[in-house]
Amino acid sequence: MLCAPRLGGLGARAATTWPGRAGLGGLGTRIRARRVSTSWSPVGAAFNVKPQGRRLDVFGERRGLFGVPELSAPEGFRIAQESALRTADLLVERACALPPGPRTVLIFDELSDSLCRVADLADFVKIAHPKPAFREAAEEACRSIGTAVEKLNTNVELYQSLQKLLADQTLVDSLDPETRHVAELFMFDFEISGIHLDKEKRKRAVDLNVKILDLSNAFLMGTHFPNKVEKRLLPEHIHQNFTVSGNHVIIDGLHAEAPDDLVREAAYKIFLYPNAGQLKCLEELLSSRDLLAKLVGYPTYSHRALQGTIAKNPETVMQFLEKLSDKLSERTIKDFEMIRRMKMKLNPQNSELMPWDPPYYSGVIRAERYNIEPSLYCPFFSLGACMEGLNILFTKLLGLTLYAEQPARGEVWCEDVRKLAVVHESEGLLGYIYCDFFQRADKPHQDCHFTIRGGRLKEDGDYQLPVVVLMLNLPHPSRNLPTLLTPGMMENLFHEMGHAMHSMLGRTRYQHVTGTRCPTDFAEVPSILMEYFANDYRVVNQFARHYQTGQVFYATLDQIYHGKHPLRASTTDILRDTQEKFYGLPYVPNTAWQLRFSHLVGYGAKYYSYLMSRAVASMVWKECFQQDPFNRAAGERYRREMLAHGGGKEPMLMVQGMLQKCPSIDDFVSALVSDLDPDFETFLMDSE
């Protein structure tokens, strides 16, 4: 999953944009290679042991979070934020005074970079730092920068400086394709923010954007907030599966993998019990998004959100989802019947299949089919072994090596965070990945990729190295044992590392379109492609998954919520009707799953992107990597055609370049359906 500030415009493009030259061509001839460091160490061993020796660095220089000197204390966020806003004011003056030309785009990108370097970092710290003071300071910085961005997106004088450039055809023709595309993206951001409106309506647009930002943060926090119930209301023998506080049992998740049916049922009904405040927050968020979309000239929020994506409009998305649902309906019935039989076998007294059953019983079926148990295969998947496997894959495929590097004192927010240097065999150091992999109190229960600093070509010819964080929730290694991963955990690790490689290898000239800042339905392609590597028969066999059925339901619900307003019914009634039509399992009364659907914030109207990206990834895998997942020529082509461009090229053009054809909606649907075939070629190859 991608996480980035949803600032739009001059802020980070909601995981949405890029320009395009690979490191070896274009920019590569002008970027100085970074030398290797003698302090780097092998990556595998760094993850199989508890961190040692960091306490010995008490006399070392304290650098602050991510090496930013100001961030050695929470107050540093205010200093960083004020500095960024002062820099932004100066850059706005320069942009407005400068004659239109290529430098206009460079200044706009520098403006975007100055704000994003604070906002991106703060967006991560506000949810991940273990100390409340840091989280609160980061939250305030996010709000301050976000408000400034919305005002800049309706700054008429700034808009006119860019409009003069794009209105002069001679000047436009003189721009290289990358610069022209980035200029058009900045212009598009102005337009969807209502720059064409009168002064009063522009202010209304800013106010709505700020309100949406606040509602999004509030809703996101609410999705993770636990529910509690009096102990006496639950059977005593299941109390041990949850946190007990006084006379209450705390439920902080769905416990979907718990073998006890009653534990899963209790978790589902209690965790998803409707919260009136969260329900009101969601309704206000959806309504505000609809008002903003109509104010700036779109019929629905979906129409606004899908501009520039592979799908382009909600009509195409719904066509895709309905065709996929039709193709999957017969398979869904068979899948659920197989799961129902397994439940009857293990629990004949209570064999009705309920929404809390599929994740657990599909895992049981997988284990039975391949005669494997987690206790048998987990030791082969130590975290260190997986990291070393990724390292081998990246070296063979892309010429990259991952090295562990000791962080400076104060550079990381928790002692078990590992820092990786990403080094290319000829280009040198490409960037840094901070790996926040282990569970801790108050850490969100989600796996995410965060951009901390985007890459860009600086005026002195040096390259601003990208910095990202990968956040997982893995168990800690013990004194005698490393962290052991299930296949699902390993797949998540590969997925998030796919995002990281996108960030490292998107060597774009402009920060505004670096790495994963591209259309959302393309941004998930590199991460999902990595899942194919994780599940390749040469790594581990897989059971045909039923994930598509659930994702079609979630994606359809997302489209309805962001479609025509006022909604035809309450969000819960819409959930019930959509679940019964697209999922095939009954709605459970007095539950409101949508209030835990955190993707409605970052992926509003775009949740379908997981499915469309998976379709593209499936085609790329079968076309380029299935025969030989270590094929260097295919890896270089993948970097050149897809990873290198960030958001600086239309996503469908990147897909066409990689596949040598323009896929249709039917092609996307067929790719997803073929992945579920029991005689999928992977299995045939495995049996030879």
CA–CA gap between residue 305 and residue 384 (Å, rounded): 40
Beta-strand runs (E) in 194-299: 227-230, 243-245, 248-251
The bridge status of strand 428-438 relative to strand 467-474 is parallel
| Residue 129 tokens, joined | 């730092």
Question: 432 and 449 in contact (C-beta within 8 Å)?
Answer: no
- In this structure, what DSSP letter does residue 25 have? S
CA–CA gap between residue 399 and residue 405 (Å, rounded): 19
Could you tell me which residues are beta bridge partners of residue 420?
404, 433
Closest to 449 (Cα-Cα) out of 476, 468, 424, 421: 468
Residues in the chain: 688
The bridge status of strand 2-3 relative to strand 448-453 is parallel
Q: What is the full DSSP assignment across 567-624?
A: -SS-HHHHHHHHHHHHT-SPPPTT--GGGG-THHHHTTTTTTHHHHHHHHHHHHIIII
Other CB atoms closer than 10 Å to residue 510's CB: what's the count? 32
**CA quadruple 600, 605, 610, 613: dihedral positive or negative?**
negative
DSSP, collapsed to helix, strand or coil, labels residue 180 as helix
496 is catalytic: yes
Mark out the alpha helices in 129-247 (DSSP H runs). 132-152, 156-167, 169-174, 177-192, 199-224
* Maximum CA extent, the chain: 78
Burial of 336 (0-12, 13-18, 19+ CB in 10 A): buried
Mark out the alpha helices in 12-101 (DSSP H runs). 43-47, 76-97
Closest to 555 (Cα-Cα) out of 545, 563, 543: 563
Question: Cis peptide leading into 566, omega within 30 of 0?
Answer: yes
Backbone dihedral region of 255: left (phi > 0), alpha (psi from -120 to 50 degrees) or beta? left
CA–CA gap between residue 227 and residue 250 (Å, rounded): 6
Question: 63 and 409 in contact (C-beta within 8 Å)?
Answer: yes
Q: What are phi and psi of 419, to 5 degrees?
A: -115, 125
Q: How far is CA 425 from CA 43, 305, 636, in A?
A: 16, 39, 13
- Give the active site residue among 178, 496, 524, 641: 496
Other CB atoms closer than 10 Å to residue 90's CB: what's the count? 12
Helices H / strands E in the chain, number of each: 26, 12
Question: 466 and 504 in contact (C-beta within 8 Å)?
Answer: yes
DSSP, collapsed to helix, strand or coil, labels residue 540 as coil
Cα-Cα-Cα-Cα torsion 643, 647, 652, 653, nearest 10 degrees, comes to -70
Q: Which residues are catalytic?
A: 496
